[in-house]
Amino acid sequence: MNINYKNIVLSKSIRQTIKYILTGSKGLVLQRRALAIDKIEVKRLGIYLHIPFCRVPCLYCPYFKEKFDKNKALAYKDAVIKEIEFYRPLLKEKKITSFYIGGGTPTTMIGYGLEEIISTIRDSFDLRCDISTETHPNDITPSAVKHLKDIGVKNVSMGIESFNDHFLKKIGRPYTSSTAKKSIKVLRTGDFKCINIDIMFGLPDQKIADVEEDIKIALSLNVDQISAYPIFTFPHTRLKQVVKENGSRLPGIIERRRMLRVIERLCYGAEMDRTSVWAFTKRGVDKYSSVTIPHYIGLGAGAGSLIPDSFFINVFNVLEYVKYLREEQKPPIALTIDFSEKEEMIHWLYWRIYETKIDKGEFKEQFDKDFDKIFGKLLVFFKLFGLSHNYKDKIIMTDKGNYWVHVLQNLFSLDFIGRVWSICLAETWPREIELI
């Protein structure tokens, strides 16, 4: 108890100091207040659609999801269409250059409104991009693949997590290794541009040899991309408690570093390039990514939106989302935060570091400012400690740098996400959340 308290205080003060050095401001506060969105002035815009349903919710998963129910899904479809109608006049002149369907498990809604939502989005906005979606091994059948093709999905990501039945069981995934392998084969019949699979490592009692085996199997199945995530213990999930009850142990930070090295060695050996902190993509394939664009509108319960000056999130409750849209005909925004330009730049930099490459020209195009003048000192620090190197007008993160991003990610974003999501799940309409 005492140690936990000290850790919280320590990480809070480190976060405060880093944030103050970077942005010059001390607090980040999300508030419940009316937000007037009368215009969105950006050159490029993305759309994120959140489908918050899963057949079997996982004990470690932090994302906003509820158990799938077909009546709830159909009511949700109607509500999302109403939210689209709200944005239609605002976005009709905009080029939509990224469209991502995340969850939860979006494919639970195949046959229960997903097709109608996608066709409404196509009819309402000027889509100039591929559609990418997440899916689950138990949802992938030849008929589901046909549905995905029919609605125009080009890139698919599936949560495999492990090919080892023992670990699948331990983390409560409701399928076997043989189903996981079969679902990849079925997905491959769809001739998608990119198939990504998620593998989690650092699972309870997992050894380096187990991770090695998982990655070797993934590579033998010839997927286009592997996203290998260390399992994170978000405070609002049951993972930590269940691990303790089972007398298991989560590998420590040094073991996880070793596991990541094995993953790097195997993926680089298989001619894959690192395309984000956690993702390795086959050379010649365009990476699968949810984050491709600085500004986006999030549709659906729990979806976040980032437009110039503001970040806002919709209510984390399906029935509340549906009810609000029936009554109000506008997005049920639960919390809003103003973003100064400096904070927007930090947000931009965070995602570029996450993607392992920072393009100074892109920064100039986005903010009309010189990258070195704003972040030059930080980059000197990165270079000095071997976290990055320069290549022409780009800054490329090294493997060591990527590892430290993971550590910082734990300190910042996971803590933020954990805090915001746990409060939104518990309170539905919270009045205010102070982040630091």
Ligand X SMILES: C[S@@+](CC[C@H](N)C(=O)[O-])C[C@H]1O[C@@H](n2cnc3c(N)ncnc32)[C@H](O)[C@@H]1O
| Residues of this chain that bind ligand SF4 (CB under 6 A) | 54, 57-58, 61, 63, 65, 103-105, 136, 159
Task: Please give the C-alpha separations between residue 210 and each of 131, 162, 213, 267, 278, in angstroms, as whole numbers.
Answer: 34, 9, 5, 16, 18
Task: Please give the C-alpha separations between residue 52 and each of 71, 75, 315, 317, in angstroms, as whole numbers.
Answer: 14, 13, 12, 9
The two structure tokens encoding residue 182: 């079969």
Stretch that binds ligand X, among 25-33, 34-42, 224-232, 322-330 (CB under 6 A): 224-232
298 near ligand X, judged by CB under 6 A = no
Q: Which residues of 212-230 are buried (b: 16+ CB within 10 A; e: fewer)?
A: bebbebbbebebbbbbbbb
Q: How does DSSP assign 362-403, residue by residue?
A: HHHHHHSS-HHHHHHHHHHHHHHTTSEEEETTEEEE-HHHHH
Question: Rounded CA gap, 427 and 424, in Å?
Answer: 5
412 binds, among ligand SF4, ligand X, none (CB under 5 to 8 A by kind): none
200 binds, among ligand SF4, ligand X, none (CB under 5 to 8 A by kind): ligand X
The end-to-end CA distance of the chain, in Å, is: 21
Question: Rounded CA gap, 287 and 198, in Å?
Answer: 13
57 binds, among ligand X, ligand SF4, none (CB under 5 to 8 A by kind): ligand SF4
Task: Please give the C-alpha separations between residue 85 and each of 89, 120, 123, 306, 392, in angstroms, as whole numbers.
Answer: 8, 9, 11, 19, 45
Instruction: Figure out which of the listed residues 136, 295, 360, 419 binds ligand X, where binding follows CB under 6 A.
Output: 136
337 near ligand X, judged by CB under 6 A = no
Q: Which is nearer to ligand SF4, 105 or 183 (CB)?
A: 105
231 binds, among ligand X, ligand SF4, none (CB under 5 to 8 A by kind): ligand X
Instruction: Figure out which of the listed residues 61, 101, 266, 301 binds ligand X, where binding follows CB under 6 A.
Output: 61
Please, what is the minimum distance in Å from the beta carbon of residue 223 to ligand SF4? 18
105 near ligand X, judged by CB under 6 A = yes
53 binds, among ligand SF4, ligand X, none (CB under 5 to 8 A by kind): none
202 near ligand X, judged by CB under 6 A = no
350 binds, among ligand X, ligand SF4, none (CB under 5 to 8 A by kind): none
List the alpha helices (DSSP H) in 250-339.
253-269, 318-328
Which residues contact ligand X (rule: CB under 6 A)?
A: 54, 60-63, 103, 105, 134, 136, 158-159, 161, 198, 200, 229, 231-232, 234
